[in-house]
Amino acid sequence: MTTFKTNAVLVFVLFTLALALHLVNVYASPLPDLVLTGSRWITLGAIGSLAFKKNSLTGWIIASMFIGCEVGFTFPVIASNLDVLSSIFLRLIKTIIAPLIFSTLVVGIAAHSNLKQVGRMGWKAILYFELVTTVALFIGLAAINLTRAGEGAEMNPQQAQVERAEKLRAQEKSKDQHHVILDIFPENIAKAVAENYVLQVVVFSVLFGIGLAKITDEAKKKPMLNFAESLSEIMFKFTDMVMYVAPFAVGGALAYSVATFGFGMLKNLFMLVGTLYMALIAFILLVLVPIGLIIKLPFRKFIRAISEPVSIAFATSTSEAALPSAMENLGKFGVPRKIISFVLPTGYSFNLDGSTLYLSLASVFVAQATGVELTFGQQIYMVFILMLTSKGVAGVRGASFLILVSTLEGMNLDAQKATAILAVDAIMDMGRTTVNVIGNCLATVVVARWEGEYSATAGDGTFD
């Protein structure tokens, strides 16, 4: 362990040195490309060596993040095609989500037959989600009003950004327009699975589990319960296999992002990114950490448990990709599966802390960029709108932008200006998705503690 810590310190020193050289190149005298490239590759070699010695999935994921950035920067033509790696990973993950949620929920409800607990978990989770996401909205407002990042901006979106925005809108219009509440309930479970409506799968699974729990004839009940238990175990093994693809997916996703969007940002968009990350950090420190202290969360053990799903969420900008890993690791952390399988997927529709914070922040940013000064009352009204509309945000890439556009149009602001944000949306999506996953993992522990079914000494505590 001492050797590993020494190597980790060496990697940090090399990384700091490489960063310093690049800053000198930008703000002082230009340096030869050979020096800059050499410093990066030496650092990457040290990171790869450290990951090899650690030989853990999380280590390889972190190493692939750095390697992906370098490939995207040095070989942009090749990297522009590497998003296929993350697409393969996401497709495999999507095949896991529905059967995993169905099997774990059915077992959790039917095996224990405690239907009152399901109701209790439901109202406790919704109450917690609403309180925390409302706080997130106000933190986003405070941050953007403090930095005034949108003032003086020339929001002239490029043609590629306009086309991407129109494509997102067209995809949204092609779907049946229903009420947000109505969309919670499935009309066809096969359609819900095919279109990846996580909350509809949760509702169907809960009702199915309740129905199975009400069967008194054990001869009829037992076969279906055994099937669900077997399916649950198989899907967790399936998840273990798919996770071996994660480092390649993470590297490919970041290589594609760097090659496509680059590192250079306009001043105001850079300030927007900085404001968002500042607000997300403030939310973690001012909201999530105090909640952890209140429930006496073992922070070190919790961080080990969520490090893998959080790194996946950060690199892929997709909460869904982290769901199977989060479910498995929270089980090792000591949270009962019946609580994990109910609270965590439900949070993907009702507890997206990072996305709701981003929506309030980005809405005011666009108003500032267009020269519109929103009054305090107008901003409160906007928060009220977002409290409702943000609950329909899916845990997938691009969904937040659609909610942003609809909110701006509802406030009679120029939604077309928002398309310029797409230039840095991939970078912002990494941060807000990461906070979404952290918030939902913590919410699951909170509900488990609230139910009296979590102990700091529970779980085997082994994380890859």
Confidence of residue 290 (pLDDT cuts 50, 70, 90): very high
Other C-beta atoms lying within 10 Å of the C-beta of residue 382: 23
Lowest-confidence range among 18-27, 52-61, 117-126, 211-220? 18-27
Lowest-confidence range among 56-70, 137-151, 219-233, 315-329? 56-70
Retrieve residue 363's tokens: 């809405």
**Closest of 365, 353, 363 to residue 410, by C-alpha:** 363
Retrieve residue 43's tokens: 């650092």
Q: pLDDT, tens digit, for every residue of 112-151?
A: 556 676 777 778 888 898 899 889 999 999 998 898 877 7
- For the ranges 299-303, 359-363, 404-408, the one whose mean pLDDT is highest: 299-303
CA distance 114 to 453: 13
CA distance 320 to 396: 7
**Closest of 363, 366, 400, 374 to residue 157, by C-alpha:** 366
Calculate helix-pair angle for 425-450, 299-316, nearest 10 degrees. 150
pLDDT of residue 363 exceeding 70: yes
Lowest-confidence range among 132-146, 227-241, 373-387, 436-450? 373-387
Q: pLDDT, tens digit, for every residue of 443-461?
A: 999 999 988 877 665 555 5
Assigned CATH for 87-243+314-450: 1.10.3860.10
Q: pLDDT, tens digit, for every residue of 182-202?
A: 777 888 888 888 876 766 887
pLDDT for the residue 100:
79
pLDDT for the residue 194:
81
Structural domain boundaries in the chain: 87-243+314-450
pLDDT for the residue 176:
46
pTM: 0.65
Q: What is the DSSP letter of 111?
A: T
Question: b or e along 290-301 (b: 16 or more beta carbons within 10 Å of the residue's beta carbon)?
Answer: ebbeeeebbeeb
